Amino acid sequence: MNGHTDITTPHPLGTSPRSNISVLVIGAGLGGLTAALECARKGHSVRLFERNPDFNDSGDMLALGLSATTLLRHWPEMREEYDQISLHDAWIQALKHNGTPVAPPKSTAQVAIGNGMDPKSPKTTFQIRPKLYRMLARQLERIGIPVEFGKKVVEYYEDATAKKGWVMEEDGTRTEADLVIAADGIGTKSNGLVGGEVKPIQSGRAMYRASLPIDVMKQDAAVDKFFGLQNGTDSIVRVFLGPGAYAVTLRRKEAMIWLINHDVSGTEAESWQNHVSHSEVLQCMDEGRGWAPEFRKMVEITPPKGIINFALLWRNPKPVWMSPARRVLQIGDCAHSYLPASGNGATQAMEDGITIAECLRQAGREGIEEAVQAFVEMRYARNACAQKLGFANAELLQHTKWDGQKETNIKKVAPTMPKWVWQHEPERYAFDNFGEVARAVREGRNFKNTNVPEGYDYEPWTIDDIMEDIRNGRDVYLGKGDWKS
């Protein structure tokens, strides 16, 4: 083992010896940024390419699990910035789609205490996507690894004899490394080398997404009051549960974000640039009947070209994440895509970045292939479980029915976020288990992971299995073991 004997205490940049491993990360999303930071901290030499000319500020909010933020113990400057952008005094409330409260608002501190947790460390926090990207990128710049923008990778290669992976850019430039990490999303060109593309399957659902500045909100007093800050000062997430649809809003001091999950309209696309009109959204709300008039008005005052209709496409678990010679590795959405509404995609992408950095540290330069295979062994079943849980949670939210009901048990429609998801510490897990996983790989036997539901043994599954449950009115079958604790 190289370097640390204890990771329970902070190990800032410079405390790991140089590994002489060169790592090229493609894609400056959350997985790629995290992989670059952690690989640098573990002593590896890192470059990070991004095809766009700057960060894409499209996108709005995301749910980030506690397991993804464990790396912050090692990055004090980033820890401070994360505290500044996080919703420390946030509240959450469930309402019917007509605006009638289902339950009184609860603070995230109350929820955390109810779960036996530190109120300053809730299991999930809502974050603004662009703020999170830029926080990670600023940390990279502070350590001398700027994101190299405008690097349009069109092909991935590897040379088993030379023990290198490499990429070709659009202009013919070639860059090689001991390991290439593909973190450039669903459409990654690495699929040509790594297992092929997993074809998307229509889910029949899409999501309208928008954000608007507070000065626009204040133009309508009724809307501003209805979606006001909790107690006049605190951010609040409101979940509106309706017939065949649900909506989520986030009110912060500086911005308002709203999302509506709905049946497909024919204009949806899997793109953050797919803008639609206000009238389309309002027509969708009319079909649901009875949406709160303040919500309708908020849609109307959203700035032009401010609404995206994002297609929610299903994909079966990708069977292969690594190239034949194990010099190109897929992480994040390249390896395991999540529905944007699953609440787990960002978390798992960051867990990937943390994990591969530690695997490489322990394996050393002569053990890169083993590190890559051990990474897949540790991460595959966990992601397959988290993906399936995301589908089950989505079904709960989008099939709420209020007809004839004055009240409901909100826990029945609350997404499941069990301890096996948020209590996981990816760096600790890789630190503790890499040696045994590597031995299992060498000996050709399976390793029994404990980062999945207790009592669960991995079972391959497909979207067809989930659809069969839904068509027959059954809860989505998750598998054996304790999925809820």
Active site residues: 209
Closest CA to 428 of 403, 404, 450, 459: 450
**Where are the alpha helices (H) located in 27-128, listed in sequence order?**
30-41, 76-85, 108-114
Measured distance CA(333)–CA(351) in Å, rounded: 12
Task: Give the C-alpha distances (Å, rounded to integers) separating 60 from 72, 295, 318, 473.
Answer: 22, 18, 27, 33
Sheet containing strand 148-149, strands side by side: 148-149, 45-50, 22-26, 179-182, 328-330
Closest CA to 164 of 151, 177, 149, 147: 177
Task: Give the C-alpha distances (Å, rounded to integers) separating 34 from 40, 301, 471.
Answer: 10, 37, 39
Per DSSP, the three-state class of 21 is: coil
CB atoms within 10 A of CB 56: 16
Place of tokens 């204040």: 218
The secondary structure of 244-273, three-state, reads CEEEEEEECCCEEEEEEEEECCCCCECCCC
CB atoms within 10 A of CB 329: 29
Place of tokens 């999950």: 261
